[in-house]
Amino acid sequence: MTALSTRQIQGESMWALTWRRFLKHRLAVISLGVLALLAVAALAAPLAAALLGSDGETVDLFNRFQGPSLGHPLGTDAIGRDTLIRLLYGGRISLFVGLTAAVAAAVIGTLIGILAGYFGGRLDALLMRFTDGVIALPLLPLLIVLAALDLNKLGLPDAVAASENISLYRIVVIVALVGWTTVARLVRGSALSLRERDFVRAAEAQGASAWRIMGVHILPNLASPIIVATTLSVGNVILLESVLSFLGLGIQPPIPSWGNLLTNAQELIWDAPALAFYPGVMIFVTVIAFNFLGDGLQDALDPRATDRRIAGMSN
């Protein structure tokens, strides 16, 4: 096989090989379709509200606990609000928190991991002991304490602390600050290996700065573990948000999320079990789908499988 053909396999066909490996993971493909459907449904919440003639916030005490109908496909809640519309808007919030917090945690973990892996020595020891310390903290009690802090006493302006969306942003920040450790350890291990590679040594010999080497030569080769770890963490973030909201410390009404929809339904579990069933199923399906998607991406992005395929075709 010629050098040109090998380069074509390594470049143009790399993503094709990855996509074919991903398609072989049936549960991951199904999960991707389910997540895409959930995302489209959540984004289409305003359209659904317009079609049904309900905004999900209007109180109608004369139509409490209605069953499914054309006007209310999933019925109404304890104060007459449309369950489907609130579920869709809750999906917007839960998915936003999950994706945003997971990406923010991945950015923090990548920065810490690549610094520790590339520079090594005392900086590596310091950053990894700090990482171990964060891992050793009891996660749920810590999140409960952080979520219960009075923002006014932290010096935030009253306008910010009293903002309707502050509970949403606080959950994202809290989860990002404690959820970066897995990505940091993965990135650090990969960076330790990559810094010994010939292309990194060649860049150092040419006088490239440490930041350029990390950003141009090392970071692109860390994309696979970062993507997989971030995907797998989204489900965990959604669970954490749901737990905190269920405890009354997460997303605060009137903003709906799947977690606080469960909270509102817990006292009505015997009278209207569907109000707890729908958000519970959404949380379960979303978390399982992200986990299967992460597994499929891990198999598809495995560089060793691609290297074996290229070596076989070269022979």
**What is the set of domains in the chain, with CATH numbers?**
33-314 (1.10.3720.10)
Tokens of 70: 């054309």
Own/partner contacts of 144-152, CB < 8 Å, gap of 24 or more, are 144/244, 144/247, 144/249, 146/174, 146/177, 147/171, 147/174, 147/244, 147/249, 147/250, 148/249
Tokens of 137: 């903290």
> Torsion over CA of 307, 106, 123 and 198, rounded to 10 degrees?
20
| Stated pTM of the model | 0.83
Res 200: pLDDT: 86
Res 303: pLDDT: 52
d(CA 87, CA 64): 16
Instruction: Output phi, psi for 54, to 5 deg.
Output: -145, 140
* Tens digits of pLDDT across the chain (315 residues): 444 444 444 544 667 777 888 888 889 999 999 999 999 999 998 998 888 888 778 787 788 888 888 888 888 888 888 889 999 999 998 899 999 999 999 999 999 999 999 888 899 999 999 999 988 888 778 888 877 777 777 777 777 666 777 878 888 888 888 889 989 999 998 898 888 888 888 888 888 888 888 888 888 888 888 888 888 888 888 888 888 877 777 787 778 888 888 888 877 888 888 888 999 899 999 999 999 998 888 888 765 544 444 444 444
